[in-house]
Chain A
Amino acid sequence: KQEVTQIPAALSVPEGENLVLNCSFTDSAIYNLQWFRQDPGKGLTSLLLIQSSQREQTSGRLNASLDKSSGRSTLYIAASQPGDSATYLCAVYNQGGKLIFGQGTELSVKP
């Protein structure tokens, strides 16, 4: 059974710092992996989708990597801003198209 774990559960950093969010999954036979952000009381916003054949994907200040063999993905955020404060969710696609979520990392960027 696929399990997705995100560490740390919460992170507080000063503005301008570069940071890394971690995601690990127990079954390396995934299809794709998607990173989302969720603002309080809001829905999920898709940030990046990494296909299983890719090693990384970039969008602006965000860079996500995928290492299927070790069951890990990281989300790197460069030059963090207060507007980046949110919960970041990692999710993996299992066989049958099921999206399995981690419990998220709550990020707070202090001005």
Chain B
Amino acid sequence: DTAVSQTPKYLVTQMGNDKSIKCEQNLGHDTMYWYKQDSKKFLKIMFSYNNKELIINETVPNRFSPKSPDKAHLNLHINSLELGDSAVYFCASSHAGEAGGSYNEQFFGPGTRLTVL
């Protein structure tokens, strides 16, 4: 199946731990994103990578570090987890756009529900 996939689907961990979420897309896209959906279901962009290069970095704590080993993968590593990090994290991808950003249709993964205890 052509899609955006994320692992794990659920992640339960203690405060202070470090964890990673993996994302892969086989749609042949150049641009990948991480979004956070909070408890009120509000979705907000965190990061965007275009061909392994960071192009969007919202005001996210530096405990969050995205890593893109290649165009098809964008992983999210979170250090020193806090209670407020509990949320659903979505990965997405799209074709690249002109310099400065992509306005092409974005396709989302199934999400990773992170619970910090």
Is A43 touching B42 in the complex (CB atoms < 8 A)? no
Residue in chain B with minimal CB distance to A93: B103
Q: Using an 8 Å CB-CB cutoff, how does the interface string of B95-107 with A read, 1 for contact, 0 for none?
A: 0010011111111
- List residues of A (14-62) whose CB comes within 8 Å of B's CBs: 31-32, 34, 36, 42-46, 49
Q: How many A-B residue pairs have CB under 8 A?
A: 60
With A44-B90, A93-B103, A95-B100 as known contacts, state yes or no: A101 contacts B43, CB within 8 Å: yes
What CA separation (Å) do A42 and B37 show in the bound complex? Answer: 12
- Size bin of chain A's contact surface: 20 to 34
With A43-B90, A101-B42, A101-B43 as known contacts, state yes or no: A96 contacts B105, CB within 8 Å: no
* B residues neighboring A (CB under 8 Å): 4, 31, 33, 40-45, 48, 55-56, 90, 92, 97, 100-111
Q: Which 4 A-B pairs have the closest CB atoms?
A: A97-B101, A44-B108, A31-B103, A43-B110
